[in-house]
């Protein structure tokens, strides 16, 4: 009886730790801006509950991006994963491709199938396609969760990792080389997604559905240590993460 109780306890603990470890993904990512300079941003993805033992991984709950030097914070619902973060003339911009009919419908079936934002007065403001910098191109990791915690992005993801290394977004990268597109919504499988879902018209700035999560929670932290700037994340109950890859 004691052996059975111990086995049940160990099984429950194993499931709990498995769910905990797989629900929170954090890393630091190098990003090449349109002017050629390279910065580091913090990224955080939280997954829904795994549904253990039937479902091994949960789905994205939200995407969080931080750039502490400009106090920039992005926290958006699942379905709104940016492919571009750029800084042009001192202003930060975010580009979000739309590939699902639910998101297309919620925002009036925009054409092109993307949302465009600029960081102003400590908040994101949606702008028209024509207001987004022409030179801005895909520069963010898109495959932000994988089959297991062992293959999730962790530590520091470099430019090289994203172009020729482990984190290449291989399918997108291959199609980009073949077709020469500059933004993910121009990829073969994404192109014209909203037009296929329903009526398509000018890219209106009025958002019918809020995409941001304003819960007052921010997992980003900027810490000055010695002469360098170190990007840290608040520790979760599951782990304490060094986002500098050390």
Closest by CA to 142, choosing from 20, 31, 58, 238, is 31
Average pLDDT score, the chain: 80
**Bridge partner list, 228:** 225
| Confidence class for position 203, pLDDT limits 50, 70, 90 | low
On the 0-12 / 13-18 / 19+ scale of CB atoms within 10 A, 62 is buried
| Confidence class for position 152, pLDDT limits 50, 70, 90 | confident
pTM of the entire structure?
A: 0.78
- pLDDT tens, 65-97? 999 999 999 999 999 999 999 999 999 999 999
Residues found in the chain: 246
CA dist., res. 56 & res. 140, Å (int): 26
- pLDDT tens, 12-27? 444 444 444 458 899 9
Q: For the chain, give the percent of residues with pLDDT over 90.
A: 52
CA dist., res. 222 & res. 70, Å (int): 11
Indicate whether 122 pLDDT > 90: yes
| Confidence class for position 202, pLDDT limits 50, 70, 90 | low
């Amino acid at each position: 009886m004691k052996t059975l109780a111990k086995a049940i306890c160990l099984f429950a603990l194993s499931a709990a730790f498995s769910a905990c470890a797989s629900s929170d993904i954090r890393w630091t990512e190098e990003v090449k801006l349109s002017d050629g300079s390279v910065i580091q941003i913090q990224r955080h993805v939280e997954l829904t509950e795994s549904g253990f033992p039937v479902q091994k991984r949960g789905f994205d709950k939200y995407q969080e991006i931080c750039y502490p030097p400009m106090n920039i914070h992005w926290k958006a619902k699942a379905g709104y994963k940016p492919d571009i973060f750029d800084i042009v003339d001192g202003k930060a911009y975010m580009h979000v491709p739309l590939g699902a009919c639910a998101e297309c419908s919620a925002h009036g079936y925009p054409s092109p199938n993307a949302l465009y934002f600029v960081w102003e007065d400590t908040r994101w403001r949606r702008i028209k396609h024509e207001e987004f910098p022409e030179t801005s191109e895909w520069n963010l990791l898109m495959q932000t969760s994988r089959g297991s915690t062992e293959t999730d992005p962790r530590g520091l993801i470099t430019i090289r990792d994203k172009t020729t290394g482990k984190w290449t977004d291989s399918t997108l990268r291959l199609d980009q080389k073949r077709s020469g597109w500059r933004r993910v919504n121009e990829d073969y499988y994404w192109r014209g997604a909203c037009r296929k879902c329903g009526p398509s018209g000018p890219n209106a700035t009025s958002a019918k559905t809020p995409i941001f999560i304003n819960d007052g929670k921010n997992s980003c932290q900027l810490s000055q240590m010695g002469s360098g700037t170190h990007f840290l994340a608040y520790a979760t109950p599951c782990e304490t993460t060094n986002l500098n890859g050390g």
